[in-house]
Amino acid sequence: MGINIAIDGPSGAGKSTLARKLAEKLGYIYVDTGALYRTIGLYVLRNKIDPKEPDAVAAALPKIDVSLRFINGEQHVYLNGEDVSADIRLHEVSQYASLVSAIPAVRQYLFDTQRKMAKEHDVIMDGRDIGTVVLPMADVKIFLTASAEVRARRRYNELLERGQNVVYEKILEDVNLRDEQDMNRSVAPLKPAQDSVIVDTSDCSFDESLAILYKTVKERLNNKNEC
């Protein structure tokens, strides 16, 4: 069994970027579970399936093959053999990902993939229910958050850098909507695990946030080893 670090938090909290850099610093494998749900969402979007119809989405799952590959240490996501690492980051995929992630059949479909990787490797896995559902026995659990306004601004700047035509007010509206969907869904709602460390990065730079996460992980692992 590898060392497992779970990083949960709302959309736009910086989980993916920080978790990836933290994994590099520690020499662990980074697993972006949000990318897996985005891939399902992308398939649903491309095939004009209503993401609010659980039965229709569940019926499509046998036609979907999602896999992760690590190329030069970088995670790539494949949908039926196609590298969709860039396409799943399109803004319109976000809401589809949020809706399909609330469907029990989708969560079960991806559950085994996530746990298998955690069993075989030292991993940092980020998502919304890693510490509460996927890896409840994780060695370290962190709940990473920031204000909705800060998260929307970060997302807005990120999308602009990718050349996407976006409006900040619409991004903020979507962030608040996704928060509501994720926190109130009946299956694995977004919430901190009871034994997680809450880290709010609203007033922190990227480097400051990374330093906080690194210190938190090292302290938690050292305390666990002493027990």
- CATH code, 54: 3.40.50.300
CB 134 within 8 A of CB 125: yes
Regions of the chain with pLDDT less than 70: 1, 73, 227
- CA 62 to mean position of chain CA atoms: 23
Give the pair of three-digit tokens for residue 148: 């909705």
pLDDT at res. 153: 95
Dist. CA 58–CA 60, nearest whole Å: 5
CB atoms within 10 A of CB 214: 15
pLDDT at res. 185: 83
pLDDT at res. 1: 66
pLDDT tens, residue by residue, 209-223:
999 999 999 999 998
Residue 174 sits at φ, ψ, to 5 deg, of -70, -35
Dist. CA 200–CA 107, nearest whole Å: 27
Residue 185 sits at φ, ψ, to 5 deg, of -70, 150
Beta-bridge partner residues of 32: 126
Residue 36 lies in domain: 4-226
Task: Domain count for the chain, please give it.
Answer: 1
pLDDT at res. 73: 67
pLDDT tens, residue by residue, 53-96:
999 999 999 999 998 887 876 788 999 999 999 999 988 898 89
pLDDT at res. 91: 85
